[in-house]
Structure 1
Amino acid sequence: MKQLLNTVYVSDPEVYLALKGSNLNLIKENDSIARVPLHNIEAICTFGHQGASPALIHECMDRQISITFFSSGGRFRGRVTGEMNGNVTLRKKQYKVSEDELECADIAKHIVIGKLFNSEQVLKRIVRDHELRVDSKKLMQAIERLKESRKLAAGTQDLESLRGIEGNAASAYFSVFNECIIQQKESFSFSSRSRRPPLDPVNALLSFSYSLLASETAAALEGVGLDSYVGFMHRDRPGRISLALDVMEEMRPLIADRFVLKLINRQQVNRKDFVVKENGAVLLTDQARKTFLQLWQKEKQDTFTHPFLKEKMPWGLAPHVQSLLLARYLRGDLEAYPPILIR
């Protein structure tokens, strides 16, 4: 099993990334403020505009350490990676499958089923843990709609139909997401999903967590030799990590959505942690983003038992395991791609 190494999050937009010996050297105002040994790192995520030195980029490429660049507001800007692992046969198979609508639909079907099942579990847990504080009837109706959508997805072999089923199910899920917010209702009211830009604090947290999960999933896919830009459900678009967006779908409820709800309901974030830009975009403050990243990294250390492998592992390995299972399916070692299903 892959070792879960550290992801370094550089949240200060004024910090420049450099190389010092075999260490990541963080520089601010010409002073070194921290050094991290590269052998302990599997990825670097930096937020802001200072950038990284060519020497560090080259060293990270040699060591297969990805560097992901985000804007100060948390929007994905790009990634630098080294030579792709794996053999050309696996990638050729991926490209061939991506051109076949029926094969794409077969993979997408399992991904959608996984996403809908896990979305159901998020809502069921809220009903179970807070039955007297939420509109249980409303939540149960949404759960039933998700179940019906899951049954429809299981019997569908058409890619466009699957996208429609997934979209309708997502609408049902987010229509009751506000019920999952138990604490700080006056500051964290949620009415609908808004992306570019996020227009309220809940959407800001969701968008930020999805960006992080997408980046980590892309790195995991490349780690097993797959091309993170060539997807099966999300179609090709220049600059879009389509396969990462595919694979992360089933993990959104389990990792990102649950994490955001924990932050709000445990009051680890509050209204003063957000700023509103002139265009209406709501973003985390620099300090709040730092807190978010610290808690995100800690959350990745929590363990679960993978339902297919029957093995206990930290949540941070979930993207790596699902990427490996997808590669095994494409190689013909598995009859079907097994999505991660957690009750």
Structure 2
Amino acid sequence: MMSFAYITEEGARIQKKGDKFVVGRNLETIMEIPAEILEGLVLIESVQVSSQAMVAFLQQGIPVTWISSMGKFFGRLESTQHVNVAKHRQQMLMQDTSFAIELSKKIIAAKVHNQIILLRRYNRRQQSDKIRIIITNILAIRKNIITAENKEQLMGYEGIIARLYFEALGQIVPQEFTFSKRSKRPPLDAVNSMLSFGYTLVMYELYTAIENNGLHPYFGFMHALKNHHPALASDLLEEWRSVIVDSMVLGLIQHSEIKIEHFQKSETNGGVYLTREGRNIFLRAYEKKMRTVNKYEESKKSYRYTLNKHVNIFSQALITRDTAVYFPIFIR
């Protein structure tokens, strides 16, 4: 079985010893990971990596991602062996074309469908009239997606729906977790903290899949191009937000696996972030989710496999300039 590893121990060091990667701190060995099963590494803040380990990661094409304890992306160690300049050129030529707007519509339609299904699923038990009204309003606005004339209109409708959706999510969670809207930099409550952290993790899994397919993560088709923002990863993330992260966050709260004491307020920026224990609970749940066999594709594969498969299908759609090739994920 292939393995993703999340190293959260402050002061840990990763070394290559024989056919294993050894994670240690001081004179203590925390874990050993056989090199042949390591698929990717996510390092939280002050984790050191030896030069021998770095070379091995590059040789074996194992991506290493550094993020802060607040979920901020620092950077990546990655091989350039998959770079495909022909695909990069195609991505640049694709900007502001009918291909870009049609694919954007497909992905936003899938995203909104998945949001509605998630709200309905949780409201079966809750029976909230307010959530029912919000769903009705979302359905009314959704009709405009297919007729949007440009990306600005499309993202305007998506933004209105997103505000309604998060308002409904705030009605689903227990009182101590209640929130009213999405807040990002910084996240101002526990739910937003988990959403931001989860979206970051999925985005950089997509980033890896994008590079493995020879694509450029910073040239997307929907979100505006800007420095320091991997637009393509952000584009392809949209259909997965509620499928992977939102549903997982609601599950953690509903089953009392994560509690309000697993969060702390930053004195630096006033944001709310997971404690070390909270992060470990969240990361275990995330990895379990990514390994779960999903029921929405014909071939019963994990979410991680399906995520990678969808990036490959996008690559095919890009090369053929045929949006019909790409099928976003629709949950039931």
Which band: TM-score by shorter chain?
Answer: over 0.9
TM-score by length of 1: 0.91
Letter in 2 for 1:329: A
Q: What does residue 187 of structure 2 align with?
A: 198
Equivalent pair of 1:206/1:260 in contact (CA under 8 Å): yes
- Which residue does 1:75 correspond to in 2? 72
Rounded to whole Å, the distance in 2 between the matches of 1:154 and 1:341 is: 16
Say whether the 8 Å CA contact 1:24–1:38 is kept in structure 2: yes
Separation in 1 of the partners of 2:53 and 2:92? Answer: 32
1:148 maps to: 140
Question: Which position in structure 2 is the counterpart of 1:242?
Answer: 231
- Say if 2:291 and 2:304, in contact at 8 Å, map to a contact too: yes
The aligned amino acid for 1:145 is N
How big is the shift at 1:68?
0.4
Residue aligning to 1:174: 166
Q: CA deviation at 1:84?
A: 4.5
C-alpha contact 1:231 1:242 (8 A) present in aligned 2: yes
1:106 is aligned, of 89, 102, 105, to 102
* Residues 17-50 of structure 1: per-residue CA shift (max 9 Å, x gap): 2222232221212443221012111110010123
CA contact (8 A) 2:99 2:322 kept: no
Deviation at 1:140, TM superposition (A): 2.0
CA 101–190 in structure 1, closer or farther in 2 if over 3 Å, else same: same
Match of 1:123 among 116, 119, 125: 119
Deviation at residue 73 of structure 1 after TM alignment: 2.1
Whether 1:260 aligns to 2:249 is: yes
Of 176, 186, 197, 1:187 maps to 176
The whole-number CA distance in structure 1 between the counterparts of 2:319 and 2:107 is 18
Shift of 1:214: 0.7
Q: Which residue in the other structure is 1:218 paired with?
A: 207
CA contact (8 A) 2:9 2:47 kept: no
Return the letter of the residue paired with 1:22: D
Match of 2:316 among 287, 311, 328: 328
Cα distance between partner residues in 2 of 1:298 and 1:221:
22
Q: Describe the superposition over 1:222-277 as per-residue Cα deviations: whole angstroms up to 9, x where unpaired.
A: 12221111111122222211111110111000000000000000000111111111
Deviation readout 1:35-76 (Å, 9 max, x if unpaired): 101211111001012332222222112211110001122221
Letter in 2 for 1:286: R
Q: Which residue of 1 aligns with 2:300?
A: 312
Q: Distance in 1 between matches of 2:219 and 2:116?
A: 28
Distance, in Å, in 2 between the alignment partners of 1:58 and 1:239 is 25
Identical columns (%): 29
**Matching residue of 1:285:** 275
What secondary structure sits across from 1:340 in the alignment? Answer: coil
**How far, CA to CA, are the matches of 2:141 and 2:2 in structure 1?**
37
> 2:264 aligned to 269, 272, 275, which one?
275
Contact 1:102/1:159, CA 8 A, preserved across alignment: no
1:331 offset after TM fit, Å? Answer: 1.8
1:160 aligns with 2:152: yes
Partner of 1:91: 88
Q: How many residues align?
A: 330
Describe the shift of the 1:84–1:187 C-alpha distance in structure 2 as closer, same or farther (beyond 3 A): farther
Q: SS of 1:236's equivalent?
A: coil
Deviation at 1:89, TM superposition (A): 2.6
SS at match of 1:326: helix
Counterparts of 1:222-233 in structure 2, within 5 Å, are 222-233=211-222
Pair 1:296-2:273 in alignment: no
Q: Which secondary structure does the structure 2 equivalent of 1:312 belong to?
A: coil
Q: Is this contact kept in 2: 1:16–1:50, CA < 8 A?
A: yes
Q: CA deviation at 1:327?
A: 0.7
Matched, 1:5 2:5: no
Aligned to 1:340: 329
**Which residue in 2 is equivalent to 1:18?**
15
Q: Is the 8 A contact 1:117 1:147 kept in 2?
A: no
Deviates most, 55-64 or 100-109: 100-109
Question: CA–CA distance in 2 between the matches of 1:224 and 1:275?
Answer: 39
Structure 1 runs of 4+ with >3 Å offset = none
From 36, 41, 45, the equivalent of 2:42 is: 45
SS across alignment from 1:295? helix
Q: What secondary structure sits across from 2:307 in the alignment? A: helix
Structure 1 residues 241 and 335: CA distance shift in structure 2, 3 A: closer
State the one-letter code of the partner of 2:109: I
